[in-house]
């Protein structure tokens, strides 16, 4: 080893990078975090909610001091067409007491707080610097090149938590080119409302409690995607994420899509009169388990979005990021014992992830992206049928109930055919295995 | 040579919005930044240091969070950073602020040695007063050169330098002795993309806090109570309404109409007799 | 804070700014405004200045209603240099104790006022756009824009004298009201060794660098100008009006104008008396840089262009057709043909 | 609810515009001329790309970029880098 400025270089101060840096700094490792934004969080957008568990393991009871918005007590799931929505969900007091299940957070504020904890733990944080490529010597990653003058840095190990675009993983050949059918664009607005308005409109007791609504269905016109609304303290985050390929093929402008969502009769009353505070966009890796790359090389590990760790079914990403960052750090600590940062030693990182829910969850749904790509109608026709059936059942129009059920059955048969239905059920069952 | 730069942390005025209903500014989430003019002052000082040797000190008066501004100044190449922070400064007007900064600068001179060139931005984008810099210069009784767009012929031996400053009618070149006090325009320089070692050093170095205990600042000249000017009220200007479309059959006719409408304004400006 | 006996201060003073033997227009504007203030205060308007040959301004100054004109004449004060000007003016103010001192918020005025106020240890309100007398306390109420014009603040200075303000040029109309005035000449002994600053050179013509904020008329071109060549049309109009030209972000990005001339959120903020937006749709980002202009004239083909929402006067038409005619007609009307 | 135009929304976003350098580009502008869909012109959430019929080229308004990278996945000719450190979008809420 010729040069060494730090033990570990962490690229990116998002949840994955900071979780890694926090664990390393706490263990006395000389770690530097390099962030391209003005401050951590300034480039980050979240279409999801922040789950407590992985973060709580890292910083116990973090939610008592972190800038969180609301803890979530109710999660609703809507199937929506152009004029109706069919709602399911869970509201439970079990999520209304400490230590809570999950939170809505505003990332620009939350990440900044997290970075303060990381710096307090002893890591060095450098903002406003772009890491352009890994420095590779004899097939081994020995550092990174930044876009700053005199910008080369050397270390035993580089942890790339540089987000979905991850130029680092790509330049090392770990990651394949991402095709537009494996990635979604999420656009989002923060709409300002008073605390009372948020409480009233979402049916919650006080401004500590929060609600999430996740929306899919035929209103997306057959595009694969999902919309969401999350309550913040005095605002609502409303957004929509759609596979980029679908946007292209449907000649769809994402802002128009967001505007039509905002004006949907089911959505509008919840946000009406609010003032848009911010407009944001970010892409979300949707490739699932099959797109997860090899996450290590000699002197190198990849974490978070950069490793495509997003569970698009359950809208989880930041918790997978935190978990992966933590495990990357732990793997480094083990490797340090032996002073061996080779590919072989660091491969333990991916094994660890396979042992946790992170890759187990992703693996469970590993065939889903292809299934949805192949059978787009699963996202439109079944939800539409459900909406129509519910509408029929709840419409009192003098038609006897047995006749209604017969009619619904008839619809089911004519729309899908029993054989088609059986096939679809079988496929879903098989793909989810 | 020793360069001392006075900086201010301000809300990014470009992101401040007006709430016409309440007549207030919406400042939620608006980031705090180094006053943009001050960044060019830091840049100028760092360039002079790199050319002639010496060091750059930076001082910022503000709440503890203003430390971020000082860290950023260091990442631009400043060597020493001082945060002037004390509750007694709350509500200071420009006279009281220039007093506190002057007193703090004297302490910095005690610790770091005499200053050759003092720097500040031409004004802050929140208050837009352009008074604090001249105030400090006056208290030090050093030559003041405002609206500087170029620095030339620095002679560290003779302790002289030449400055180009902006006037309404053009520019003027001024020669002065050091120490002197410059307030600078954005045109003075283009901000460099600082080398990584500057950023690392800034992240590793802590900022020294100055307050009424570790300086000779006297409370009787500080804060709202001891500021000669007070704010009676603050309000937002009325929202601009849609005006009048000038229509007519011919372009000439339209322009004639327009001219008649604006003639009184042109007269007040002395454009028409 | 230094406490003063404020009852000893009387009269409204206006600084007469001059360059090359000519008085700056803002001084007359302020004299006119000062007459109003003096009426409310029950006192007189006095003018003052320092310089080489400044007594010659007496007639003009009295024409705008000054009852007295305090001057210090010295060849040493031929050109404006901050420190000797400051010292001479401080001498005048300390000797005669005016209640109010008004200075134009020009480059010179803003350079000078802060340093005077600091020596006098009194309050100064910079760049005001409105001056009033509080009927109850008789304090001067000074209103000024902050946050780039998004917020106005009314400031007063209750316990210190003089109450000082620099006032933005072009806010008040200069109206004559001749008075019989008296010139009061004062002397000041300069310790010339104290002053170590000198002017080497004055460059009068405009260089590449522009400060759009200095101009009271700005003619600005946008993407609707169509080409770089057409930007000449706005330059010509600006020349006729004695203003300067600027551009929208889209025009800058198209390479038709340098970034230094860009008006808007990511460019400069201007507040001229007249802003003429030519072929600028007027997205909110552009409005942020010019909406506090006094008169906005918009010329645009598109009747739905947002610029019309804030324009004082709108002309729906093709800039390429309108501008040359406008330049020609204004040239004639302003007697510049 | 009143429909907001993209530029109205972008006005709410904090940027630190890099006047020195554009992080977006097109590797082969000839390709744009024959590109049928010109998807960059509608798929970008900030409407950074617009087709200039007269000049027969794509105009890139890079200072409005939200740095999502959609264009980069949508078109192989778009050269996309991060803006220099500290420049570009800076969200207030996120």
Clarify whether residues B165 and B258 are in a common domain.
no
Distance CA C253, CA D59 (A): 9
Contact C259/D7, CB-based, under 8 Å? no
Clarify whether residues B273 and B180 are in a common domain.
no
At residue C26, φ and ψ (nearest 5 deg) are -60, -30
Digit-coded pLDDT (tens) for D34-92? 999 999 999 999 999 999 888 899 999 998 999 999 999 999 999 999 999 999 999 99
Distance CA A265, CA C89 (A): 70
Please state which of the ranges A47-51, C112-116, C308-312 shows the lowest mean pLDDT: A47-51
Question: Percentage of chain B with pLDDT > 90?
Answer: 81
Q: Which domain holds residue A49?
A: 6-67+106-175+293-355
Residue of D7, D15, D61 with shortest CB distance to C284: D7
Residue C285, min C-alpha distance to chain D (Å): 6
Clarify whether residues B126 and B64 are in a common domain.
yes
Distance CA C198, CA A423 (A): 92
Q: Which domain holds residue B207?
A: 2-226
Clarify whether residues A53 and A142 are in a common domain.
yes
In a domain, A324, yes or no: yes
| Exposure letters A295-326 (e unless 16+ CB within 10 A, then b) | bbbbbbbbbbbbbbbbbbbebbbbbbbbbbbb
In a domain, B232, yes or no: no
- Contact list in C for residue D61 (CB cut-off 8 A) is 250, 253
Digit-coded pLDDT (tens) for C174-203? 899 999 999 999 999 999 999 999 999 988
CB A218 within 8 A of CB A383: yes
- Of A252, A247, A249, A283, the C-alpha closest to A47 is A283
- Contact list in C for residue D9 (CB cut-off 8 A) is none
pLDDT at position A1, please?
Answer: 47
In a domain, B35, yes or no: yes
- Listed ranges A359-373, B259-273, C220-234; the one with the highest mean pLDDT: C220-234
pLDDT at position D26, please?
Answer: 96
pTM: 0.91
Given a cut of 90, whether residue B23 has pLDDT beyond it is no
Distance CA B73, CA C53 (A): 46
pLDDT band at B269 (very low <50, low <70, confident <90, very high): confident
Contact B196/A278, CB-based, under 8 Å? no
Clarify whether residues B170 and B104 are in a common domain.
yes
Residue C148, min C-alpha distance to chain D (Å): 16
For chain D, say whether A257 makes contact (Cβ under 8 Å): no
Kindly state the tokens that stand for C137. Answer: 């306390």
Given a cut of 70, whether residue C205 has pLDDT beyond it is no
The domain that holds A215 is classified in CATH as 3.30.9.10
pLDDT at position C206, please?
Answer: 53
For chain B, say whether A125 makes contact (Cβ under 8 Å): yes
In a domain, A212, yes or no: yes
* Structural domains present in chain D: 6-89 (3.30.70.20)
For chain A, say whether B204 makes contact (Cβ under 8 Å): yes
In a domain, A259, yes or no: yes
What crossing angle do the helices spanning C107-120 and B94-112 adopt, rounded to 10°?
Answer: 80
Given a cut of 90, whether residue A264 has pLDDT beyond it is yes
- Of A312, A90, A77, A88, the C-alpha closest to A216 is A77
pLDDT band at C210 (very low <50, low <70, confident <90, very high): low
The chain D residue lying nearest A34, using CA atoms, is D85
pLDDT at position C157, please?
Answer: 97
- Contact list in D for residue A189 (CB cut-off 8 A) is 9
CB C33 within 8 A of CB C128: no
pLDDT at position B134, please?
Answer: 97
The domain that holds B49 is classified in CATH as 3.40.50.620
CB A204 within 8 A of CB A167: no
ipTM associated with this complex? 0.89
Rounded to an integer, the average pLDDT of C248-257 is 88
Rounded to an integer, the average pLDDT of C37-51 is 97
Kindly state the tokens that stand for B40. Answer: 């060019």
Digit-coded pLDDT (tens) for B221-254? 999 999 999 999 999 888 888 999 999 989 999 9
Q: Tokens 């600068």 map to which residue?
A: B105
Rounded to an integer, the average pLDDT of C36-64 is 97
Q: Where are the beta strands (DSSP E) in A198-310?
A: 209-216, 225-231, 235-243, 275-285, 296-297, 300-302
Question: Percentage of chain C with pLDDT > 70?
Answer: 98
Residue of B29, B190, B193 with shortest CB distance to D92: B29
Cβ-based neighbours of A346, under 8 Å, separated by 6 or more: A157, A296, A297, A298, A299, A300, A301, A331, A332, A335
pLDDT at position A314, please?
Answer: 82
pLDDT at position C2, please?
Answer: 74
Clarify whether residues B86 and B195 are in a common domain.
yes
CB A88 within 8 A of CB A76: yes
Q: Distances in Å between the alpha carbon of D11 and those of B16, D14, D89?
A: 11, 8, 12
For chain A, say whether D88 makes contact (Cβ under 8 Å): yes
Specify burial of residue D56 (Cβ count, 10 A radius: 0-12, 13-18, 19+).
exposed
pLDDT at position C240, please?
Answer: 93
Digit-coded pLDDT (tens) for B83-118? 999 999 999 999 999 999 999 999 999 999 999 999
In a domain, B153, yes or no: yes
pLDDT band at B170 (very low <50, low <70, confident <90, very high): confident
Rounded to an integer, the average pLDDT of B264-272 is 84
pLDDT at position C281, please?
Answer: 92
Q: Distances in Å between the alpha carbon of B29 and those of A42, A269, B127, D73?
A: 11, 26, 19, 31
pLDDT band at A416 (very low <50, low <70, confident <90, very high): confident
Contact A124/B194, CB-based, under 8 Å? no
Distance CA C315, CA A56 (A): 63
Residue D52, min C-alpha distance to chain A (Å): 19
Q: Distances in Å between the alpha carbon of B30 and those of A282, B14, B37, B72, D13?
A: 21, 9, 18, 18, 10
pLDDT at position C209, please?
Answer: 52
Q: Domain count of chain A?
A: 3
The chain B residue lying nearest D21, using CA atoms, is B193
Distance CA A275, CA A238 (A): 12
Clarify whether residues A349 and A388 are in a common domain.
no
Best interface-test mutation with D: which of B12, B26, B194 has the largest number of D CBs within 10 A? Answer: B12
Clarify whether residues B97 and B203 are in a common domain.
yes
Residue D14, min C-alpha distance to chain B (Å): 6
Q: Domain count of chain B?
A: 2
């Amino acid at each position: 080893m010729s040069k060494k400025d730090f033990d570990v270089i962490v690229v990116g101060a998002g949840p994955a990078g900071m979780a890694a840096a926090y664990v390393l700094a706490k263990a006395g490792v000389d770690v530097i975090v390099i962030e391209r934004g003005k401050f951590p969080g300034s480039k980050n957008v979240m279409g999801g909610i922040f789950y407590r568990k992985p973060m709580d393991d890292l910083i116990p009871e973090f939610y008592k001091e972190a800038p969180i918005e609301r803890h979530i007590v109710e999660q609703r799931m809507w199937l929506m067409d152009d004029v109706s929505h069919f709602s399911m969900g869970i509201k439970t007091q079990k999520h209304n007491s400490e230590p809570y299940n999950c939170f809505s957070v505003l990332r620009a504020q939350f990440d900044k707080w997290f970075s303060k904890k990381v710096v307090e733990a002893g890591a060095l944080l450098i903002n406003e610097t772009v890491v352009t490529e890994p420095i590779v010597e004899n097939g081994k990653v020995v550092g990174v090149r930044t876009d700053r003058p005199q910008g080369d840095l050397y270390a035993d190990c580089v942890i790339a938590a540089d987000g979905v675009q991850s130029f680092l993983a790509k330049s090392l050949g770990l990651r394949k080119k991402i095709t537009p059918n494996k990635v979604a664009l999420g656009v989002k607005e923060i709409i300002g409302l008073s605390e009372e308005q948020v409480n009233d409109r979402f049916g919650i007791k006080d401004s500590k409690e929060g609600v999430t609504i996740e929306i899919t269905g035929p209103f997306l016109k057959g595009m694969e995607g999902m919309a969401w609304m999350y309550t913040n303290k005095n605002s609502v985050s409303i957004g929509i994420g759609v596979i980029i390929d679908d946007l292209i093929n449907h000649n769809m402008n994402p802002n128009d899509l967001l505007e039509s969502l905002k004006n949907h009769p089911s959505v509008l009353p919840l946000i009406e009169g609010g003032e848009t505070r911010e407009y944001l966009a970010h892409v979300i890796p949707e490739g699932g388990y099959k797109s997860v790359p090899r996450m290590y090389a000699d002197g190198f590990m990849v974490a978070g979005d950069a490793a495509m760790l997003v569970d698009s079914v359950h809208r989880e990403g930041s918790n997978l990021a935190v978990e992966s960052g933590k495990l990357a750090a732990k793997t480094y600590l083990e490797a340090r014992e032996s002073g061996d940062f080779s590919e072989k030693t660091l491969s333990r990182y991916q094994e660890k992830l396979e042992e946790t829910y992170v890759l187990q969850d992703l693996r469970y749904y590993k065939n889903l992206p292809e299934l949805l790509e192949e059978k787009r109608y699963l996202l439109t026709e079944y939800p539409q049928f459900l909406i129509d059936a519910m509408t029929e059942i709840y419409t009192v129009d003098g038609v006897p109930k047995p006749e209604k059920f017969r009619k619904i059955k008839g619809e089911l048969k004519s729309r899908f055919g029993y054989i088609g239905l059986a096939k679809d059920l079988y496929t879903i069952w098989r793909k989810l295995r | 040579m020793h360069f001392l730069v006075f900086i201010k942390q301000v809300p990014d005025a470009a992101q401040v919005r007006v709430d016409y209903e309440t007549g207030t500014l919406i400042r939620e989430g608006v980031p705090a930044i180094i006053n943009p003019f001050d960044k060019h002052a830091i840049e100028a000082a760092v360039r002079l240091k790199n050319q002639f040797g010496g060091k750059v000190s930076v001082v910022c008066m503000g709440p503890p969070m203003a430390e971020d501004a000082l860290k950023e100044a260091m990442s631009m190449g400043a060597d020493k950073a001082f945060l002037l922070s004390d509750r007694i400064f709350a509500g200071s007007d420009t006279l009281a602020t220039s007093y506190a900064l002057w007193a703090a600068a004297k302490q910095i001179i005690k610790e770091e040695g005499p200053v050759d060139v003092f720097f500040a931005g031409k004004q802050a984008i929140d208050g837009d007063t352009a008074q604090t810099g001249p105030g400090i210069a006056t208290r030090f009784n050093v030559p003041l050169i405002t609206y500087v767009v170029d620095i030339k012929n620095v002679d560290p031996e003779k302790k002289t330098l030449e400055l180009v400053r902006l006037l309404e009618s053009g520019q003027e070149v001024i020669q002065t002795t050091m120490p002197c006090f410059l307030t600078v325009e954005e045109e003075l320089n283009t901000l460099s993309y600082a080398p990584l070692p500057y950023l690392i050093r800034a992240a590793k170095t802590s900022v020294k806090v100055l307050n009424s205990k570790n300086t000779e600042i006297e409370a009787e000249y500080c804060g709202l109570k001891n500021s000669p000017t007070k704010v009676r009220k603050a309000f937002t200007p009325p929202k601009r309404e849609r005006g009048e479309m000038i229509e007519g059959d011919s372009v000439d006719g339209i322009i004639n109409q327009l001219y008649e409408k604006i003639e009184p304004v042109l007269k007040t400006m002395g454009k028409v007799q | 804070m230094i406490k003063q006996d404020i009852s000893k201060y009387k009269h409204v003073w206006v600084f007469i700014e001059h360059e090359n033997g000519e008085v700056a227009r803002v001084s007359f504007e302020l004299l006119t405004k000062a007459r109003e203030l003096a009426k409310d205060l029950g006192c007189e308007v006095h003018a003052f200045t320092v310089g080489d040959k400044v007594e010659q301004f007496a007639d003009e100054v009295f024409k705008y209603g000054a009852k007295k004109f305090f001057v210090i004449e010295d060849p040493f004060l031929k050109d404006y240099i901050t420190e000797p000007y400051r010292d001479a003016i401080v001498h005048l103010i300390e000797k005669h104790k005016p209640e109010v001192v008004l200075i134009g918020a020009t480059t010179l005025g803003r350079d000078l006022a802060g340093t005077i106020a600091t020596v006098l240890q009194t309050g100064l309100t910079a760049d005001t756009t409105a001056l009033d007398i509080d009927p109850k306390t008789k304090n001067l109420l000074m209103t000024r824009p902050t946050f780039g014009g998004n917020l106005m603040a009314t400031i007063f200075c209750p316990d210190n004298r003089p109450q000082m303000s620099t006032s933005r040029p072009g806010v008040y109309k200069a109206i004559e009201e001749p008075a019989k005035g008296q010139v009061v000449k004062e002397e000041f002994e300069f310790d010339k060794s104290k002053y170590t600053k000198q002017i080497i050179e004055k460059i009068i013509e405009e260089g590449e660098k522009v400060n759009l904020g200095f101009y009271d008329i700005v003619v600005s071109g946008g993407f609707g100008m169509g080409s770089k060549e057409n930007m000449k049309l706005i330059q010509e109009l600006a020349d006729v009006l004695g203003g300067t030209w600027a551009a929208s972000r889209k025009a800058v990005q198209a390479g038709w104008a340098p970034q230094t001339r860009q008006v808007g959120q990511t460019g400069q903020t201007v507040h001229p008396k007249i802003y003429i937006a030519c072929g600028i749709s007027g997205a909110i980002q552009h409005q942020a840089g010019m909406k506090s202009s006094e008169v906005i004239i918009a010329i645009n083909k598109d009747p739905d262009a947002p610029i019309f929402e804030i324009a004082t006067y709108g002309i729906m038409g093709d800039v390429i057709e309108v501008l040359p005619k406008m330049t020609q007609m204004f040239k004639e009307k302003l007697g510049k043909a | 609810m009143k429909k907001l135009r993209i530029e109205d929304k972008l006005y709410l976003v904090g940027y630190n515009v890099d006047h020195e350098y554009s992080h977006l580009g097109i590797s082969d502008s000839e390709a744009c001329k024959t590109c049928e869909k010109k998807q960059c012109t509608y798929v970008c959430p900030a409407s950074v790309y617009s087709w200039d019929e007269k000049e027969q080229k794509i105009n890139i308004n890079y200072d409005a970029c939200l740095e999502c990278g959609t264009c980069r996945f949508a078109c192989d000719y778009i050269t996309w880098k991060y803006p220099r450190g500290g420049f570009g979008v800076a969200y207030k809420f996120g």
